[in-house]
């Protein structure tokens, strides 16, 4: 037996969807996330189903039940997703400590005058619990009076690196770019830099030239296209624009 009569079904679904959107929007106004969002989501869903069954013969209550259910579901669904996104987190005590990580280069490396930046998918960490995706900078020259040679990192390679990390931080000026929110959107839950080799038994070293995987294939293909375009259009002012259009990397476009 259907919960709603056929004539009321579409109206109730529209009300439920509108309530869901309102609930998700309501969460954005909160100063903090509610605790136990996953359990609350299941409780709201179960209550909504029970109320709909009990009140299926009371037409004047259907819209109210659908609206309230939608708001609750939207609120706790958004909260559950937010908690899942923010759960991988570096402990405060591990910030600024030397940590040896093994993993793969998970993005197009961005080379600049002082070194290179890239995302790193962590497979194993020694000395701390590290989020699964981190953003690293590898600087040339000297750090802490130790020479630091930058490795030729490429997408899909597996490396063992000694790094120092911190939780994501960034400016959030009104109407300006929110770096911390952008990192969260990318799934990056810690940032840091590659340390010079502090010990002979833990060098910064490439362990594998390529690790098979869909994401690695995509990033390696993008890197190959970027390199080929850059070589073909070397010295051309519009080379960065062509790279951005083909592989989506806008960092070579000159600003100003």
**Chain segment 62-100, per-residue pLDDT in tens:** 777 788 888 888 888 888 888 887 778 888 899 989 999
Whether 202 and 114 map to the same domain: the answer is yes
Q: Is residue 1 part of a domain?
A: no
Phi then psi dihedrals of residue 88, to 5 deg? -70, 110
Q: Is residue 121 part of a domain?
A: yes
Whether 127 and 222 map to the same domain: the answer is no
Q: Is residue 248 part of a domain?
A: yes
* Domain termination residue (choose one: 31, 61, 86): 86
Q: How far apart are CA 59 and CA 18, in angstroms?
A: 19
Whether 196 and 220 map to the same domain: the answer is no
Look up the domain containing 37 and give its range: 6-86
Whether 256 and 236 map to the same domain: the answer is yes
The pTM assigned to this predicted structure is 0.73
Number of domains in the chain: 3
Distance of CA 60 to the CA centre of its chain: 44
Tens of pLDDT along 118-129?
999 999 999 899
Distance of CA 85 to the CA centre of its chain: 7
Q: Which residue has the higher pLDDT, 178 or 45?
A: 45
């Amino acid at each position: 037996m259907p919960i709603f009569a056929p004539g009321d079904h579409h109206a109730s679904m529209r009300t439920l969807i509108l309530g869901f959107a309102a609930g998700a929007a309501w969460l954005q106004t909160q100063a903090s996330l509610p605790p136990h969002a996953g359990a609350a989501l299941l409780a709201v869903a179960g209550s909504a189903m029970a109320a709909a069954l009990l009140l299926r013969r009371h037409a004047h209550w259907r819209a109210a039940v659908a609206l309230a259910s939608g708001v609750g579901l939207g609120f706790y669904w958004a909260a559950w997703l937010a908690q899942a996104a923010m759960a991988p987190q570096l402990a405060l005590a591990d910030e600024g400590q030397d940590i040896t990580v093994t993993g793969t280069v998970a993005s197009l490396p961005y080379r600049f005058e002082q070194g290179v930046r890239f995302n790193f998918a962590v497979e194993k960490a020694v000395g701390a619990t590290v989020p699964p995706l981190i953003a690293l900078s590898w600087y040339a020259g000297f750090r802490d009076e130790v020479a630091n040679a930058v490795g030729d990192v490429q997408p899909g390679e597996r490396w063992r690196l000694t790094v120092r990390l911190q939780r994501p931080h960034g400016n959030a000026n009104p109407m300006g770019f929110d770096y911390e929110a952008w990192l969260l959107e990318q799934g990056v839950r810690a940032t840091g830099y590659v340390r010079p080799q502090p010990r002979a038994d833990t060098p910064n070293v490439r362990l594998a030239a390529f690790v098979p995987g869909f994401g690695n294939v995509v990033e390696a293909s993008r890197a190959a296209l970027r390199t080929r375009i850059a070589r073909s259009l070397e010295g051309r002012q519009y080379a960065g624009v062509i790279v951005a259009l083909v592989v989506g990397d806008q960092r070579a476009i000159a600003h100003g």
